[in-house]
């Protein structure tokens, strides 16, 4: 894998890559994107979230995997 970062100064760039020997003769895919591209801003909500813990007696409970995976 080759990973590098550049900051272009103009709208045209000439790149020269030095590739590992095991890459020679293989098709390479070059992808360019900005570091923050695709990162969504997190929406902050003022919702109050709470969880209720339920206690139950499970001494005699036996998990049945086949039953749980039935569709």
Looking at residue 21, its pLDDT comes to 92
User: Residues 48-57: contacts with CB within 8 Å, 24+ apart?
Assistant: none
> What global pTM score does this model have?
0.41
Looking at residue 61, its pLDDT comes to 85
And the tokens for 51? 């969880």
**Residue ranges of the chain with per-residue pLDDT less than 70:** 42-43
Closest alpha carbon to 32 in 2, 58, 56, 60: 2
Looking at residue 51, its pLDDT comes to 83
């Amino acid at each position: 894998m080759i990973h590098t970062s550049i900051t272009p100064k103009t709208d045209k760039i000439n790149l020269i890559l030095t590739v590992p020997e095991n890459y020679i003769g293989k098709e390479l895919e070059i992808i360019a994107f900005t570091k923050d591209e695709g990162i969504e801003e997190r929406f902050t909500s003022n919702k109050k979230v709470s969880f209720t813990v339920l206690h139950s007696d499970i001494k005699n409970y036996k998990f049945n995997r086949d039953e749980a995976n039935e569709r």
